[in-house]
Amino acid sequence: MSSSAMQLQQPQAAAAASDTAPLRVVAHKFGGTSVANAERYRHVADLLCKRPEAIQATVVSAMKGVTDALIALAHGAADGKDWRTPWQALRQRHLDAAADLLASAPQAAQAWLFAQFEELAELLHALSVLGTPTREALERVQGLGEVFSAHLLSEHMHALGEDVAKLDAREVLVVSHGELGVAVDWDTSAARLARWREANPARRVIITGFVARDGANRITTLGRNGSDYSGAIFAALFNAQELHIWTDVDGVLSADPRLVPEAVPLAALSYHEACELAYFGAKVVHPQTMTPAISRNLPILIRNSFRPEHPGTRIASVGDSAGPVKGLTLSPELALLNLEGAGMIGVPGTAERVFAALRDARVSVVMISQGSSEHSICCVVREAEAEIGRRALQAAFARELANAQVQNVQLIHDISVLAAVGDGMAGTPGVAARLFASLARAQVNIRAIAQGASERNISVAIASADADKALRAAHSSFWLSAQTISLGVIGPGKVGSALLEQLHAAQARLKRDTNLDLRLRAVASRNRMWLDDRGTTQNWQQRLEQAELDADLDAFTHHLQAAHLPHTVIIDCSASDRVAERYADWLAAGIHVITPNKQAGAGAIERYRAIRSAAAASGARFRYEATVGAGLPVVGTLRDLLDTGDDLVAVEGIFSGTLAWLFNRYDGSTAFSALVREAHGLGYTEPDPRDDLSGTDVARKLVILAREAGRELSLGEVDVESLVPASLRSAAPDEFMQRLDELDAHFAGRHAAAAAAGKVLRYVASLDRDGRARVGLVELGREHAFAHLRETDNIVQFSTRRYCNNPLVVQGPGAGPEVTAAGVFADLLRVAAALGARIG
């Protein structure tokens, strides 16, 4: 390009403003949503008038929907359909915009529009006679929207008293069409623009986007996204310092907001990052648009015309240091072609034959992957071209297929490609590991992987059914959005209600401080349930009471496993054996299970094995700390001992907060029955106190700890002393409470005997070194650690190879809905941390 053409003529008045400071030239481009109607035109004009640049080159698109309407008109006319009705509607839309925009004197603009639409009608009539839309006619028609739009905006700004000129790009822009797209004849275009500026030295120039002429002087267009490309072209021709592309979003987002509502605007991108994101369909400028900018180091700013105060995203030669991953994109409607065979190994030219066959079949390759063994080559292609590609490869390798040197050409449909993009990925260890781990945690299988030597892009081919979930999981893994968990709670009784209240109190804080989004999407009681997409804990109790759905755990589970949410957690706060039967299936499906319900941990050993196997196979977490000791770290402590190589010798402890409270308080001065009634009134016991007094609950906890230590103990093998006399075991709950006095004589005698020996009564569970398990009332010396507990304290002593002379003791409150719920909540946060949430 000649230097004279590149300099261009500036308005003399503006040049006189400063003899030394360089004039600031800024190019703008407004999309169809930004000029959708008269109100938007006024907004754009106001925005432009307030900007300080000395020279302003503004490219405009057609009004929203107009280009598609014009294309439909051309095809409709050629197909013999009624084109006059939609033509009149389109004309009226523009006339109404002119009347609204130029209320004081719209006649001139309307007359111009009438003339333009009459010419369009003549062309459409000709197409209806010909019966086919020629390329030249189609390009002439579909580019008219920009012509109309530029005229409306320039007339409005002229009416405002602005120094403005309208440039029809067809007067200056010359392009040619080739295999790589549209190429600009820069020298000719710049020379024509320089001459045009000599005749039109206005400070503000409104330019038609999308349209141009070819070397034969025929009207043509720049193709889809052509208006953006026009913006970059005229930014270069005007020698602008910046190009502002105005759209309806706050810049380039870290992911598609339709799939990831938490997607965030990116402050800055490099040209390379923007190209990578754009290739896989992100709402970024088209790579072709960036070509003139890259060669001239011209910054591109993606701005929101609806929120001009937002700085948007700056795209330049260097981005910023945020990252390593800037954004993620998802490209759907793809397929996987896989060619494999032992005869390919070490044979030169195989890949060349694959790609040549696809090229000759006009099949575009989106992604390529090949292992170092050379046993297979796989290509991701567009779904619409997949069968053509398969046949092309079968023809190209027909001889090898017949000789079994190549085993088959496999075609896998319904594939999507997820791409993680960022300049900061280069040289940063662990980026791929984090991406793959996030997909594994979300139960997403990867079919193929590709990463270039630049390390700027990692692409993975996955099943389209998993695509939304995969995108959200990866997005949160790189802390571009909150780590989101689809949460369901079963059993809103005392513990469940306390948990839901704790969730409600912590939900906003966790999202703000730790980027963890706990979405309560379902609650089920014994008889009913509510399902919700909002994920809020607000008024959960009222919503459950008003719920009209019967409890259905299949529907409950299906609702929680939303495709757009990467992780699902079910918390079972019931005491139901029927619910525990579901654990293995949930875990096998990748659903994390958290529970204080002891039925699974102490139930049938076959079910317990199935639960552990399902968790191990799927990687889903099974957390049950609150099954023993409520909120105390009993199971976790034992797990830590064993994981660090210690050996369990024996366990002894008081595992019931209810029984601990009763025998801590029982000193013979108050009847035992009175203490039971008091504990019942305080909520320390189960609704039927026999569930505590029978010792079965304590026995279950002992079984859970034994199994945690690798001992396959069953509940029936535990020697359990029940504190409920045989005469009261089959009585109705109300009758039992009325006959509680029948317990007093027995316990008074036990207490007196212990006191005479200088001892106290405690209900203790024990597992000895030989595997014998017993639960019952024992007499302990007053110096024993178990003799000095407070209120509902639980205490556990672990005797291990390391802690042999002085057992490891865990002690603290072991009863009450609040502390049990806190233990469940802590398990939920541990699962969230394992899934990548920034907790702790």
Return the active site residues: 701
The 8 Å CB, 24+ separation contacts for 424-429 are: 424/321, 424/322, 424/323, 424/324, 424/325, 424/326, 425/323, 425/324, 425/325, 425/455, 425/456, 425/457, 425/458, 426/454, 426/455, 426/456, 427/455, 428/324, 428/455
Distance CA(822)–CA(501), nearest Å, equals 11
Whole-number Cα distances in Å, 106 to 155, 162, 599: 9, 17, 80
Residue 777 region by backbone torsions, left for phi larger than 0, else alpha for psi between -120 and 50, else beta:
beta
CB burial of residue 512 (10 Å; 0-12, 13-18, 19+): exposed
Q: CA-CA distance, 354 to 363, in Å (whole number)?
A: 11
Cβ proximity of 464 and 332 under 8 Å: yes
Amino acid at 720: V
Q: What is the pairing mode between strands 242-247 and 300-304?
A: parallel
Query: Mapping DSSP to helix (H, G, I), strand (E, B) and coil, where does residue 378 land?
Result: strand
Q: What DSSP designation does 174 have? A: B
CB 1 within 8 A of CB 187: yes
Separation of alpha carbons 387 and 64, rounded Å: 36
Question: Is the Cβ–Cβ distance between 178 and 64 less than 8 Å?
Answer: no
**Residues with Cβ within 8 Å of residue 575, at least 6 apart in sequence:** 491, 597, 598, 599
CA angle 249, 318, 57 (to 5 degrees): 55
For 239-260, letters b (16+ CB in 10 Å) and e give bbbbbbbbbebbbbbbbbeebb
Query: Going by DSSP bridges, is the β-strand pair 25-30/55-60 parallel, antiparallel, or unpaired?
Result: parallel
Q: Which two tokens stand for residue 149?
A: 């739009």
**Under a CB-based contact definition with an 8 Å cutoff, are residues 596 and 495 in contact?**
yes
Six-digit token pair at 379?
A: 């290509």
Site of tokens 């513990």: 495
Please, are residues 324 and 428 in contact by the beta-carbon 8 Å criterion?
Answer: yes
